[in-house]
Structure 1
Amino acid sequence: MKRLVKAIVILILAVADAIEASGSSDGYCNYKHISTSRPHSVTITEFGAVGDGLTLNTVAFQNAVFYLRSFADKGGAQLYVPQGRWLTGSFNLTSHLTLFLEQDAIIIGSQDSSQWPIVESLPSYGQGLDLPGARHRSLINGYNLTDVVITGDNGTIDGQGLIWWEWFSSQSLNYSRPHLLELVNCNDIVVSNLTFLNSPAWSIHPVYCRNVEIQNITIHASSDSPYTNGIVPDSCSNLCIEDCSIDVGHDAIALKSGWDNYGISYGMPSTYIHISKVHLQTPLGSALAFGSEMSGGISFIYVEHLHIDNSLTGINFKTTRGRGGFIEDIVVSNVEMENVHEAFRFTGHCGGHPNDEYDPDALPKIKQVTLKNIVGTNISTAGFFSGIENDPFTAICLSNIALSITSDPSNSWSCSNVSGYSESVFPDPCSDLNSNSSFSCFSLDFTAAAEA
């Protein structure tokens, strides 16, 4: 037993050394070209806003943005939000705009649901996430925009989500809950240096977007808040998430691309996404999730320098029959986990359907996924891998992984309908992931995509 413990310690230290020695590899976060300077600036108080936490400022924000549209062909403009508590309902942004929140500036979402207008569901989903039909518009929105910066000196956007969580739990909602920030079909976006608190549903949701940088963001929602996700890249390409800390009730970062036949028809994958230097925590969800709404496809994703603690699941790939689509060409590298119930989960039996019109023969594909240079301490279970009968998950590579398991290591893996390869992994994975064939782990090169 002492020899086994010593061997485990040596392996964990070796993996930790490999993580520390690995610098940032080539990825989209290393190719940033979005300017943030503006030649014109106005302050929200110029439009009658009052930062007392009581006065409703929805019209002030709407009028300010409308006014700043006139500067779009003059280099754009900045809307400055000074220190204060700025209560507001939902408002839209415009192109060539910077929304800047000063330190101790807090934009607060109204708890009056009428201040969150009703909008149609997204075409790749066919309905809201909570209920069939339409949904509430998010607090801050962008539609068909280009060159938008949402930043500050660590200002805060607080959705006051408790009332929405109570409505959800009591089944009192008439429409699906809103998000804090949603950007639809937008290009050249920066979200940085802000704190997002208590979203009714998801905190940051870029969907159908290209060239997006999300940096130095803190996100928090109560651990028991229902299905509150952190950052959800959805049918996006060329996207960077970097230097963020996320603590929410469900999935901290979740990559998606549409739901069943709606996502298949829309056909826009999430691709060329780089996630680096993030700290994730979610006691009731997954720190890093792929799916389960992935019907448009998810591919060419590189995740590195990930710290996960106090979470139910570390890394989760989830889908089900009827999804169609694919999750492929994924690399997750240099990960530290601590106090995680289940390190890895791959499942083909997760998630519901928007309606009964889905095609059960639309089978999703999960293949060419590499997980490497991972160390975990106080892990309950190493991995659960369950593909779909007659549709196995293939080419799964586990490399240089050391997990300190609190349960019996010999029972720490469960595998069915999956195949792959492993090297330098402790505890030893199941035989399905221990192929002796000349299998090569998948690797990524973002250079061509970043230069495109």
Structure 2
Amino acid sequence: MKTSLSSALLVLGGCFALTTASAGTTPNLPTVKVPEFRKDTVNITKFGAIPDGLTKNTAIQQAIDACSKAGGGVVLVPRGHWVTAGLEMRNNVNLHLAKGALVQFSDQHADYHLIKTSWEGVDAVRNQALIYGENLENIAVTGQGVFDGAGATWRAVKKSKLTETQWKRLVDGGGVVNDKKDTWYPSAQALKGSTITEAFYLKPGQDVKDFENIKDFLRPDMLVLAKSKRILLEGVTFQNSPAWSLHPLMSEDITVRNVTVLNPEYGQNTDAIDLESCKNGIIEGCSFDVGDDGICIKSGRDEQGRKRGMPTENFIIRDTKVYHAHGGFVIGSEMSGGARNLYVSNCTFMGTDVGLRFKAARGRGGVVENIFIDNIDMKDIVGQAIIFDMYYMAKDPVPLAGESTAPPVIKPEPLNEGTPQFRHIEIKNVTCNGAETGIMVRGLPEMPIKDISIENAVLQSKKGLLCIEAENIRLKNVTLLSTETKPVLEVQNSKDITLDNIHYTPGAELLMRITGDRAKNIKLVNTDRSKAKKELELGDKVSKKVLSLR
């Protein structure tokens, strides 16, 4: 006998229509198919599991295998402290952690093995994920318990990320430090791997055995479910991941609900969730506090990603909080297969480096389009509240101490299959209390960022708008309360820009600056220009005819 874990299947169109007014659009997206399981429950204690926090149990894996072989059902991990090596999911199994259950993954690296996989969008060799599955159907990880990934035994730590006391404690506890004495590694093998360019890339003629000498460097993700269908992650806390936390890869029909991901702020590559080349899903009610991107959309990197040709598409992401992270909601930079039909609403970002972050680079290729974002609230953003950046590899949006803050000079290159594209993105109803820059748009001379609409926003930041190499950008009812007011609005080499009903800090030194010989058809309308000390500044090659005022 089967019972559904949800009362009904999630119909994305219906869900979204209740929560957004984005351009009056109700998405016509496919139904997300939710897994169903037999009522039969298998308790891991029947396989000899011992909850003392010391004994390395094989019982959880045995229970998963037995449950699947019997036709599927629920594998129950009851309250207790359970230690285990990596787990492999099986068809038709719901791995359920009861309240008070703590599953501690082993800190012994010999308990994990290297596999061929994909990481950061390319063919790679890594240690197999702590929770792993491939070519599966009807699988779930649910409950109120906690998975701990023992990530501290895998991750390098930069001295600049810690206090002096924390750094001394870390170094005194073992591991090795690099020659510059600015980064700690858990082992000499991990340090060795860090010195090899693209160490984890699987190149022609190589096999898994060729990577054994840097095994410690090839950190596992917390959870990878690849090429699988009907996935549910619900209620569980995933913490202390060695690398990416939740990584659905080339999978479909994905539901992630009320999940918490916790990783140290200094934890390198500890993204909360990376949806890579996936389709049809919903992410809702989650809470993420991590050391890298929060909600991240990917689809492969460069030539390999374009050859795979699988966009991430048809997702609703809503009612989710992101605390520390490099970005709250992020697309890229590995987006070579494209991304489309994404609906983000009712999310809060607090203390992230960037809020809404769209990033790519030459060589990526891919098209990011039909992205609708509504009701986003942000606080204490370190860099940009909203950024579209096709020149991502040239400059980090949050410069390190001593680095120049000036934008790089961008020279045009020929269009080719590696030229990325961002187009048709709508953002509405956004607030941000504190950021370096309110809005930054930086395209390429050969491929501007196109068709961006930002409406009904109040952004408090040091700098207002910086728009470079863009086309058909529309801001309406946007308030830019910038403290560095020279200028509030800066437009470089962009055309068909409409700034409608813009509000700004009274007494601004300069309202608008336009530069670049490709600037064309810029409109500043329904805006009180009298509150600025100086209204307009034009570059040497910019005619007054470029700007329309009314």
- Alignment TM-score, normalising by the size of structure 2: 0.68
Give the match for residue 421 of structure 1: 474
Question: In terms of mean alpha carbon deviation, does 419-428 or 313-322 score higher?
Answer: 419-428
Change (3 A) 1:381 1:126: closer
Matched, 1:196 2:241: no
Among candidates 135, 141, 145, match of residue 150 of structure 1: 141
Pick from 331, 334, 338 the counterpart of residue 379 of structure 2: 338
How do 1:238-277 residues align onto structure 2 when only pairs under 5 Å count?
238-277=280-319
Amino acid at match of 2:19: S
> In 2, Cα distance between the equivalents of 1:429 and 1:87?
56
> 1:412: how far off?
2.3
Q: What residue ranges of structure 1 are gaps of 5+ in the alignment?
A: 1-21, 129-133, 353-358, 440-452
Please state if 1:55 is matched with 2:51: no
**CA distance 1:28–1:215, change in 2 (3 Å):** farther
1:117 aligns with 2:113: yes
Query: Residue type of the partner of 1:148?
Result: I
- The separation in 2 between residues aligned to 1:256 and 1:421, in whole angstroms, is 26
Aligned-CA RMSD value: 2.5
SS of 1:114's equivalent in the other structure is helix
Distance 1:305 1:385 in 2: 23
Counterpart AA for 1:277: D
Is 1:108 paired with 2:87? no
Structure 1 stretch displaced more, 258-267 or 115-124: 115-124
Distance 1:262 1:32, change over 3 A: closer
Q: Which residue in the other structure is 1:299 paired with?
A: 340
Alignment of 1:239-388 (within 5 A): 239-282=281-324, 285-341=326-382, 342-351=384-393, 362-388=418-444
* Secondary structure of 1:87 counterpart: strand
Alignment correspondent of 1:234:
276
Match of 1:207 among 244, 249, 258: 249
**Matched residue count:** 397
Q: Aligned with 1:54: secondary structure?
A: strand
> Distance in 2 between the 1:77 and 1:319 partners?
42
Distance 1:33 1:294, change over 3 A: closer
Closer/same/farther in 2, CA of residues 28 and 232 from structure 1, 3 Å limit: farther
- Alignment partners' CA distance in 1, 2:440 and 2:274: 24
DSSP 3-state at the match of 1:232: strand
Shift of 1:180: 1.1
AA aligned opposite 1:60: A
Distance 2:28 2:221 in 1: 26
Query: 2 CA distance for matches of 1:169 and 1:318?
Result: 29
* 1:136 aligned partner: 127
What is the rounded CA distance, in whole Å, between the counterparts of 2:89 and 2:27 in structure 1? 29
Displacement of 1:43 in angstroms is 0.8
Cα separation, partners in 2 of 1:32 and 1:271, compared to 1, 3 Å: closer
Amino acid of the structure 1 residue aligned with 2:385:
A
Contact kept in structure 1, 2:137 and 2:230, CA below 8 Å: yes
Q: Summarize deviations over 1:26-80 as a string: whole Å, max 9, x none.
A: 56999555254423111111112211111111x32222222122223xxx21110
Amino acid of the residue matched to residue 448 of structure 2? P
Distance 2:286 2:153 in 1: 26
Letter in 2 for 1:159: G
TM-score (norm 1): 0.82
CA–CA separation in structure 1 for the residues paired with 2:28 and 2:329: 18
Instruction: Give the CA deviation at 1:350.
Output: 2.2
Amino acid of the structure 1 residue aligned with 2:430: I
Aligned residues: percent identity?
28
Letter in 2 for 1:329: N
CA distance in 2, matches of 1:417, 1:169: 40
Q: Is the 8 A contact 2:295 2:329 kept in 1?
A: yes
Distance 1:294 1:82, change over 3 A: same
1:84 to 80, 85, 90: 80
Displacement of 1:169:
5.2
**How far apart are residue 123 of structure 1 and its match?**
8.9
